[in-house]
Amino acid sequence: MKKLIAILTLTLLVQAEANTDKVVNTQMGADNDARNSQKRINTLADSKDELLREYRVTLKKIENAKVYNDQLRKIIANQEVEQESITKQIETLKETNEGIVPLTLRMAKNLETFVELDVPFLPKERNKRLADLKLMMDRADISTSEKFRRVLEAYQVENEYGRTIEAYRSVQTREGKELTVDFLRIGRVGLFYQSLDGSITARYNPANKTWEDLGSEYRKSIREGLKMARKQMAPQLIKLPIQSPEVI
């Protein structure tokens, strides 16, 4: 009897152990399934988050593209207006050039005539300026506006001569010989020269366009005038023979 009970007990223990192993195996399988399921859930969640981020980025790009396109349309519209304005300006400029070009040529020619008839001071400098203007008029690489500006600049220089006094050294032809002298220009009303040793003093007579010798009484005045023009002495009154302008 005891032997039978032992056998039954052993049998029950074996069955219990088998059932336990089955339960354990079942639980382990369930755990593995749960872990796999969680992995799939995590993967799906990550995919969802990634898709959501991509969706938001796409929406932002669409919004930016809309703003850019709106701005681009405004720029294009503005450029069309500006293009129309430029076209009108070009047409106006063409008409202006047609008037400015002959005016500039006339002004340059009149300036040349004026210098020829004027008191003959600084002849090399002034003639060079006129020659440069003449050459410039035929150059295609210089704009019409620049040509006009240069002619106006030459007029301003000539105008300034009438309000200043100046002393400069140059060569004067006298009795067929070249003599180095000091010239004194007083505006446009007086042009004089004096030899370096002071022995010769002369003035230009615009009435007959000739040089006339002056007496020794003007020698000191011319010398002082030269010093004042060179800022070597303070301005003061000097006595000089000035030709009165003709009243037209």
Mean pLDDT to the nearest integer, 114-127: 94
> pLDDT for 214-239, tens place per residue?
999 999 999 999 999 999 999 999 99
In this predicted structure, what is the pLDDT of residue 54? 79
In this predicted structure, what is the pLDDT of residue 165? 95
Mean pLDDT to the nearest integer, 6-27: 60
User: Is the whole model's pTM more than 0.85, yes or no?
Assistant: no
Instruction: Give me the helices (H) in the chain, please.
Output: 2-117, 123-137, 144-161, 219-229
In this predicted structure, what is the pLDDT of residue 25? 65
Mean pLDDT to the nearest integer, 82-92: 65
Whether residue 238 contacts residue 224, with contact meaning beta carbons closer than 8 Å, is answered with yes
Instruction: Among 72-76, 90-94, 191-195, name the one with the lowest average pLDDT.
Output: 90-94
List the chain domain ranges: 165-243
In this predicted structure, what is the pLDDT of residue 93? 60
Whether residue 223 contacts residue 191, with contact meaning beta carbons closer than 8 Å, is answered with no
DSSP states along 137-188: HT-TTS-HHHHHHHHHHHHHHHHHHTT-EEEEEEEEEETTEEEEEEEEEETT
Q: Looking at this protein, which amino acid is placed at residue 202? A: A
Instruction: Among 18-27, 52-61, 75-84, name the one with the lowest average pLDDT.
Output: 18-27
Taken in order 157, 159, 165, 166, the sign of the CA dihedral is positive
Confidence of residue 82 (pLDDT cuts 50, 70, 90): confident
Strand 210-213, strand 177-186: pairing: unpaired
In this predicted structure, what is the pLDDT of residue 109? 94
pLDDT at residue 126 above 90? yes
Mean pLDDT to the nearest integer, 31-52: 73
Confidence of residue 53 (pLDDT cuts 50, 70, 90): confident
